[in-house]
Amino acid sequence: MINPRVTKLRYVGLAGPEFAVERAFLADPWGLREVAADGELAYFGSASSTEPFITRLRGAEGRGLDVIGFAAADRASVDALAQNLLRAGVTAISEPHRLDSPGGGYGFRCFDLDGHALEISCDVAPSTPRALNAGESIPAILSHVVLHTPDVKKTVAFYEEALGFKVSDWLGEFMCFMRCDEVHHSIAFVPGPPSLNHIAYEMRDIDEMMRGAGRLIKAKVPLKWGPGRHVAGNNTFSYFHDPVGNTLEYTAAVDRVGADWKATTYTPSPDIMDQWGTSALSDGPMKMGHPAPDPALWRAPPV
Ligand SMILES: [Fe+2]
């Protein structure tokens, strides 16, 4: 049965300067595993994910979000999604075709309403996850990506209608959390010029999130916000800056929700942002950097 909707967040592709420095950082201390590389292009997987890669890094002059990869159920669904998106007026980057990234597959790319490149694929050969050892505080899976958008409601409507996402919760009228599978949010939107807000990696449990945060603090990686626990999604968080200024998050215990989940609109307050209150130890979200338009907008990634 054709199911023209996105079924999973697969990977996030970053472009930026200082390729060697960023590449080394993503492996250690961040904890991803490099699975393939070709010049200034590197693919990173994680221990517990069935995705062959969850992060892609490409050397480029400006720092930007290169592409967000999503899964669809099968070829017929990929084809139907491509047609539906074209009908909805999106700008296509490529027709459905065989992919040559790790795991292969069949997919296409297009821009969303703000000019972020999206890839939707199926038939990607899964990697074999392994059980993490006790105390192995490395990302288990890719959790979510948060984007700035000038019109949150319009963008939410697009992701609902064109890609099949569901609203999980709102924070006031400005932040919307959206899901495409059982994970409370795989994508979320906040106001601002179109750009990346942060990428989150889920650790196996809260202990491992804290151990991972400790490893980064000891490595002198700037802790921007955390540790704490959000109310929307009920997930724990620690936000850091990578060497080129992207905000990356370690999270844990993200809610899994079912079809009967009812969205709540939370009134923003310090207790809603952090139910523990411990993140008051850190700079906080207001000092995580000001969003600026992404130089990669409306530019098809070269690979
Ligand atoms: Fe997050």
Ligand 1 centroid distance, CA of 199 (Å): 7
What CATH code is carried by the domain that includes residue 43? 3.10.180.10
Q: Are residues 232 and 112 in the same domain?
A: no
Please report the pLDDT score of residue 160 as a whole number: 96
Q: Are residues 82 and 115 in the same domain?
A: yes
Q: Are residues 94 and 195 in the same domain?
A: no
- Asked if residue 70 belongs to a domain, the reply is yes
Ligand 1 centroid distance, CA of 273 (Å): 11
Please report the pLDDT score of residue 2 as a whole number: 74
Q: Are residues 203 and 161 in the same domain?
A: yes
Please report the pLDDT score of residue 204 as a whole number: 95
Q: Are residues 117 and 146 in the same domain?
A: no
Ligand 1 centroid distance, CA of 209 (Å): 13
Q: Residue 180 pLDDT > 90, yes or no? A: yes
**Confidence band for 3, pLDDT divided at 50, 70 and 90:** confident
Q: Are residues 156 and 255 in the same domain?
A: yes
What pLDDT, in 10s, does the model give residues 66-77? Answer: 999 999 999 999
Q: What average pLDDT is seen over the chain?
A: 96
Q: Are residues 100 and 18 in the same domain?
A: yes
Domain, as residue range, for 257: 141-287
What pLDDT, in 10s, does the model give residues 240-254? Answer: 999 999 999 999 999
- Asked if residue 151 belongs to a domain, the reply is yes
Q: Residue 1 pLDDT > 70, yes or no? A: no
Ligand 1 centroid distance, CA of 183 (Å): 12
Which one is predicted more confidently, 59 or 285?
Answer: 59
Q: Are residues 158 and 273 in the same domain?
A: yes
**Confidence band for 34, pLDDT divided at 50, 70 and 90:** very high
- Asked if residue 220 belongs to a domain, the reply is yes
Q: Are residues 101 and 151 in the same domain?
A: no
Q: Are residues 187 and 263 in the same domain?
A: yes
Q: Quote the CA–CA distance of 235 and 45 in Å, as a whole number.
A: 22
Ligand 1 centroid distance, CA of 240 (Å): 11
Please report the pLDDT score of residue 246 as a whole number: 96
- Asked if residue 294 belongs to a domain, the reply is no
State the pTM of this model. Answer: 0.97
- Asked if residue 297 belongs to a domain, the reply is no
